[in-house]
Amino acid sequence: MRFWVGAYAGDAGSVEGIGILQAGDADSVWASGPLGMVGTAVPAPGSASWLAAHPTHDLLYAALESDGTVQAYRRTSETRLT
């Protein structure tokens, strides 16, 4: 099972963007097995710390806290957003 994960960077910190965590097999409906970082799905400025997936479309919304905005990303593959 895969999870989208955001990150928060304080005023002096930095983050790469929205990442992907995986627990067990990628296509499993159960989060079984070791949990590990797969990589960065998309660079996201402004601390994309709050994420919400659209219930029916391949969209992911991110609250970019330091910018005070919300950004929508479209999933282009199992591990990439644009």
pLDDT digits (tens, 9 = 90+) for 10-21: 666 667 789 999
Residue 40 carries which DSSP code? E
3-state SS, residue 29: coil
pLDDT at 28 (0 to 100): 82
pTM listed for this prediction: 0.79
Give strand pairing partners of 31. Answer: none
Residue 1: pLDDT above 90? no
Residue 30 carries which DSSP code? S
- Identify the band that residue 76 occupies on the pLDDT scale cut at 50, 70 and 90: very high
Which is it for strands 69-74 and 59-64: parallel, antiparallel or unpaired? antiparallel
- Tokens, residue 5: 């994960």
- Tokens, residue 52: 């919400």
Model confidence over 7-63: pLDDT tens digits? 876 666 667 789 999 998 888 878 888 899 988 999 887 788 899 999 999 999 999
Q: Are 38 and 22 in contact (CB under 8 A)?
A: yes
